[in-house]
Structure 1
Amino acid sequence: MNYPAEQQFAPSPAPAPAFVGQGTAVEQSRAVAEVQAAVVVARQFPRNEALAVQKMRTGFAQHTLAVRSFFRFSRGKSNVSGETIQFAKELARCWTNIHYGVHELRRDDANGESEMQAWAWDLETNERASTTFIVPHSRWTKTDGSTRLEDPRDVYENNSNNGARRLREMIFSVLPDWFREQAKTIATNTLENGQGDKPLAQRVADCIVHFEGLGVTVEQLEENRSGRKSEKWTNLDLGQLSIISESIRRGEITIDEEFPPQRVTVTEIRQQHDEQPPSTEEHAPTGERQQWPSARQPGASS
């Protein structure tokens, strides 16, 4: 007996739970109604692409948003950089009629892992992107290696950080590439131009004071800027340092990873040794005490 193609390859339905509570049933009905209403509203009020571009340009022309739009961290001998989840959410807000989210589908505390799903949906074009992934309940560092997370708050923050990275890619999947590239260009120009209400010298001084509060010296900042002195920094240098500061604040990199401690060279050690005054005391070899002739005692024979 021949069956339709879609019936031949249809997957077997997942077993339904034996009992569904009233609260679960109400939540399922509410979710279905909410999705249907969102689709209807999106069709009745379609996006205005010209207005979306205008909102995007206005948003990323703000210096505070431009700083939060990029990340940067070191991996091996190279640097990894890109756009943040804040950048992606702002694009989705400007483009309108985009739904997105992250769900924890299952948590297995015995094996120390969570199954999660990130998704984004364009309600107008019905384009949807989703990914399901496993997040281990562990944190890896260069010094301690992999460490198991037991605190529920640590597990939650670890799942949120991993989910945010996948969510960012899902949002980018349903947005036009040209819209994203224009936003990157505007945000980069905003960082390079800096804050127009302050002169460049004042912003350089403020940047140095800010990093000194984090324990980073001027010499380390200049080394990070390819050895250029602070008086030769440009708006681009300040923009990159702002991105580094935000990455440190978010915990994506550490200060020691981005600004390694300065190493003492052999020349400096020799110079320091030469500058030390020579010792005037002579010490006898270990285990041998030198006997010096003592003054003649009274009553001693000549």
Structure 2
Amino acid sequence: MNQPIPIPSNSAPARIGQGTAVEQSRAAAEVQAAVVVAQQCPRNIQAAVAEMRESCKQQGLAERAFFRYSRGGSTVTGASVHLARELARVWGNVQYGLVEMRRDDDYGQSEMQAFAWDVQTNSRNSSTFIVPHRRDTKNGSKQLTDMRDIYENNANNGARRVREAIFAILPPWFVEEAKELCNQTLRDGGGKPLAQRVADAIKTFEGIGITADRIENRLDRPSTKWTEHDVAQLIVIYKSIQRGEVTAEDEFPAPRVSADELTGGKTGKPATTPTEQ
């Protein structure tokens, strides 16, 4: 039987630097220690639920608990990575992260991996994906070459995968209760009267150039008839605008001006006089 003939290679095997070897050993020891600690100090579910409920009562978390962006002419909403990270913290014995496995500047893309791992139950969720070094703009796709732009693009794309990985290993009932409590916190508005919250919302949006009438057109009712749900929705929209997930123009389109309004009601036709009898 013919045996394969090994082909000699002039290239020496790549050596691992001392710093890399030390980091690999440290990471392995850290993972082993995390497993041991998780087995010796298992989570207290009742304490985790109590801490989750207390966290979701905080206005600061509730305002960042949801995302909102436009896709294909529709609006997509859901729980944000900020809520996912907080729930992972209070649930305990959970590790998560984002790793850039490979960057290819010739092809203009990075290979990333997002993961979440429940060390106590050994439940793990991970996904490997490609992030092109491009950003969508109103004028089309823009190639990214600056290192900071590439880093921020990778982090933004990876955050969504980390969020889904965390939610995949947490109990669904735990996540759903947290979302409902955050919604309730937004509707309560920190104990402020509804009229005060409406006034604050109008003032906040005026700071980014959105007038009250544009908000009223979007909600299809005057500010005097806004509900707690309306104000809560406005808070989510404002935070999404701040994070760049949506634009103010998309959420609050400027009212169209008719031809009569532009000409002051003058159409250019001569006025007609009544026929004399």
Aligned pairs for 1:63-74 (under 5 A) are: 63-74=59-70
* SS of structure 1 residue aligned to 2:266: helix
In structure 2, what is the Cα distance between the partners aligned to 1:228 and 1:191?
20
Q: Is 1:209 aligned with 2:203?
A: yes
Please name the residue that 1:265 is paired with. Answer: 258
* SS of structure 1 residue aligned to 2:135: strand
Please name the residue that 1:32 is paired with. Answer: 28
Shift of 1:269: 4.4
Aligned pairs for 1:35-74 (under 5 A) are: 35-74=31-70
Q: Percent identity?
A: 58
Please name the residue that 1:88 is paired with. Answer: 84
Match 1:243 to one of 236, 240, 243: 236
Match 2:227 to one of 226, 231, 234: 234
Match 2:116 to one of 116, 120, 139: 120
Q: Is the 8 A contact 2:117 2:124 kept in 1?
A: yes
Counterpart residue identity of residue 190, structure 2: Q
Q: TM-score w.r.t. structure 2 length? A: 0.89
Please name the residue that 2:170 is paired with. Answer: 175
In structure 1, what is the Cα distance between the partners aligned to 2:93 and 2:13?
33
Please name the residue that 2:7 is paired with. Answer: none
Q: Is the 8 A contact 1:100 1:121 kept in 2?
A: yes
In structure 2, what is the Cα distance between the partners aligned to 1:74 and 1:117?
25
In structure 1, what is the Cα distance between the partners aligned to 2:50 and 2:110?
40
Shift of 1:134: 0.2
Q: Is the 8 A contact 2:111 2:129 kept in 1?
A: yes
- 1:81-126 per-residue CA deviation (whole Å, 9 max, x = no partner) reads 0011001001101100000000000111111100000001000101
In structure 2, what is the Cα distance between the partners aligned to 1:68 and 1:237?
17
Q: Is the 8 A contact 1:73 1:258 kept in 2?
A: no
Please name the residue that 1:296 is paired with. Answer: none
Please name the residue that 2:190 is paired with. Answer: 195
CA RMSD of aligned residues (A): 1.8
Q: How many residues in Structure 1 have an aligned counterpart in Structure 2?
A: 259
Please name the residue that 2:154 is paired with. Answer: 159
**17 and 133 in structure 1: CA distance in 2 versus 1, 3 angstrom threshold:** farther
4+ residue runs over 4 A deviation: none
In structure 1, what is the Cα distance between the partners aligned to 2:142 and 2:13?
36
In structure 2, what is the Cα distance between the partners aligned to 1:98 and 1:48?
13
Please name the residue that 1:101 is paired with. Answer: 97
Deviates most, 132-141 or 257-266: 257-266
Structure 2 unmatched ranges of 5 or more: 1-11, 271-277
* SS of structure 2 residue aligned to 1:273: coil
Q: TM-score w.r.t. structure 1 length? A: 0.82
Shift of 1:127: 0.8
Structure 1 unmatched ranges of 5 or more: 1-15, 279-302
Aligned pairs for 1:126-137 (under 5 A) are: 126-137=122-133
**53 and 275 in structure 1: CA distance in 2 versus 1, 3 angstrom threshold:** same
Q: Is the 8 A contact 2:260 2:267 kept in 1?
A: no
Q: Is 1:252 aligned with 2:248?
A: no
* SS of structure 1 residue aligned to 2:265: helix
- 1:149-183 per-residue CA deviation (whole Å, 9 max, x = no partner) reads 11111111000000000000000111111100111
